Structure 1
Amino acid sequence: MNRMGKWIKTILMGLTLLGTTLWGAFAVYFGDSGNGIAQTAVALVFLLCGLATLICLGFPHWRPRVLPAYAILFGSILTWWVLIRPSNERLWQPDVAKLAYATFNGDKITVHNIRNFAYRSEFDYQPAYYTKTYDLNRLEGMDLIAVYWMGPAIAHTILSFCFGGNEHLAVSIEARKEQNEGYSTIKGFFRQFELIYIVADERDVIRLRTNYRKDPPEQVYLYRLQGPLENARRLFLEYMRKINALNVEPEFYNTLLDNCTTVIWLNTRINPEHLPFSWKILLSGYLPEYLYEFHRLDSRIPFSELQQRAHINSRAQAADLASDFSTRIRVPIR
Structure 2
Amino acid sequence: MLRRAVRLLATIAMSVIVTAAVAWGVMAIWFDGPHSRVLAGAIAAGVALVSIILAAIVHPFLRGLTVALFPVIVVALWWTSIPASNARDWTPDVARTARATFDSNRVTIENVRNFKYRSESDYDERWETRTYDLDRIRGLDLFLSFWGPTQIAHTIVSWDFDDGQHLAISIETRKEKGESYSAVRGFFRQYELYYVVADERDLVGLRTNYRGEQVYLYRIRVPAADARALLVDYLDQVNRLADHPEWYNALTQNCTTAIRGHAQNIGAGRRLDWRLLANGHLDQLLYEREQIETSLPFAELKARSNITDKAKASDDSPDFSARIRQGLPEIPGS
TM-score higher than 0.5 = yes
Deviates more, 1:305-314 or 1:276-285: 276-285
Q: Is the 8 Å Cα contact of residues 18 and 65 (structure 2) preserved in structure 1? A: no
Pairing 1:166-181 to 2, within 5 Å after superposition: 166-181=164-179
In structure 1, what is the Cα distance between the partners aligned to 2:38 and 2:242? Answer: 31
Matched, 1:40 2:38: no
1:41 maps to amino acid: A
Q: Is the 8 Å Cα contact of residues 315 and 332 (structure 1) preserved in structure 2? A: no
Report the 3-state secondary structure (helix = DSSP H, G, I; strand = E; otherwise coil) of the residue aligned with 1:183.
Answer: coil
Distance 1:174 1:207, change over 3 A: same
In structure 2, the partner of 1:322 is: 317
2:266 maps to amino acid: N
2:172 maps to amino acid: E
Deviations, residues 50-72 of structure 1 (Å, cap 9, x unaligned):
45556x37x9689988974x444
Matched, 1:264 2:262: no
**Aligned counterpart for 2:280 among listed residues 271, 277, 285:** 285
Report the 3-state secondary structure (helix = DSSP H, G, I; strand = E; otherwise coil) of the residue aligned with 1:123.
Answer: coil
Q: Is the 8 Å Cα contact of residues 256 and 279 (structure 2) preserved in structure 1? A: yes
1:282 maps to amino acid: L
Following TM superposition, by how much is the alpha carbon of 1:128 offset from its aligned partner in structure 2, in angstroms? 1.5
Following TM superposition, by how much is the alpha carbon of 1:236 offset from its aligned partner in structure 2, in angstroms? 0.9
Q: Is the 8 Å Cα contact of residues 21 and 51 (structure 1) preserved in structure 2? A: no
Q: Is the 8 Å Cα contact of residues 100 and 107 (structure 2) preserved in structure 1? A: yes
Q: Is the 8 Å Cα contact of residues 209 and 311 (structure 2) preserved in structure 1? A: yes
Residue identity over aligned pairs, in percent, reads 41
Pairing 1:67-106 to 2, within 5 Å after superposition: 68=67, 70-106=68-104
2:245 maps to amino acid: P
Q: Is the 8 Å Cα contact of residues 115 and 129 (structure 1) preserved in structure 2? A: yes
In structure 2, what is the Cα distance between the partners aligned to 1:156 and 1:84? Answer: 27
**Aligned counterpart for 1:210 among listed residues 208, 211, 218:** 208
Following TM superposition, by how much is the alpha carbon of 1:186 offset from its aligned partner in structure 2, in angstroms? 1.4
2:316 maps to amino acid: L
Distance 1:133 1:33, change over 3 A: farther
Deviations, residues 258-310 of structure 1 (Å, cap 9, x unaligned):
10001111101233343222111111111111111122111111111111111
**Aligned counterpart for 2:159 among listed residues 144, 147, 161:** 161
Deviates more, 1:312-321 or 1:174-183: 174-183
In structure 1, what is the Cα distance between the partners aligned to 2:321 and 2:175? Answer: 27
**Aligned counterpart for 1:113 among listed residues 111, 114, 121:** 111
In structure 2, what is the Cα distance between the partners aligned to 1:115 and 1:132? Answer: 10
In structure 2, the partner of 1:199 is: 197
Report the 3-state secondary structure (helix = DSSP H, G, I; strand = E; otherwise coil) of the residue aligned with 1:143.
Answer: strand
Q: TM-score, normalised by structure 1?
A: 0.90
User: Which runs of no fewer than 5 residues in structure 2 stay unpaired?
Assistant: 329-334
Q: Is the 8 Å Cα contact of residues 86 and 252 (structure 1) preserved in structure 2? A: yes
In structure 2, what is the Cα distance between the partners aligned to 1:53 and 1:311? Answer: 56
In structure 2, the partner of 1:139 is: 137
In structure 1, what is the Cα distance between the partners aligned to 2:224 and 2:7? Answer: 60
Report the 3-state secondary structure (helix = DSSP H, G, I; strand = E; otherwise coil) of the residue aligned with 1:140.
Answer: strand
In structure 1, what is the Cα distance between the partners aligned to 2:314 and 2:244? Answer: 38
Q: Is the 8 Å Cα contact of residues 32 and 192 (structure 1) preserved in structure 2? A: no
In structure 2, what is the Cα distance between the partners aligned to 1:35 and 1:177? Answer: 21
**Aligned counterpart for 2:241 among listed residues 226, 232, 246:** 246
1:245 maps to amino acid: R
Deviations, residues 182-218 of structure 1 (Å, cap 9, x unaligned):
11121111122111110011111101100001xxx31
Distance 1:322 1:50, change over 3 A: same
In structure 1, the partner of 2:16 is: 15
Report the 3-state secondary structure (helix = DSSP H, G, I; strand = E; otherwise coil) of the residue aligned with 1:8.
Answer: helix
In structure 1, what is the Cα distance between the partners aligned to 2:266 and 2:124? Answer: 38
Q: Is the 8 Å Cα contact of residues 34 and 192 (structure 1) preserved in structure 2? A: no
Following TM superposition, by how much is the alpha carbon of 1:331 offset from its aligned partner in structure 2, in angstroms? 1.2
In structure 1, what is the Cα distance between the partners aligned to 2:130 and 2:258? Answer: 24
Matched, 1:29 2:53: no
In structure 1, the partner of 2:332 is: none
Report the 3-state secondary structure (helix = DSSP H, G, I; strand = E; otherwise coil) of the residue aligned with 2:235.
Answer: helix
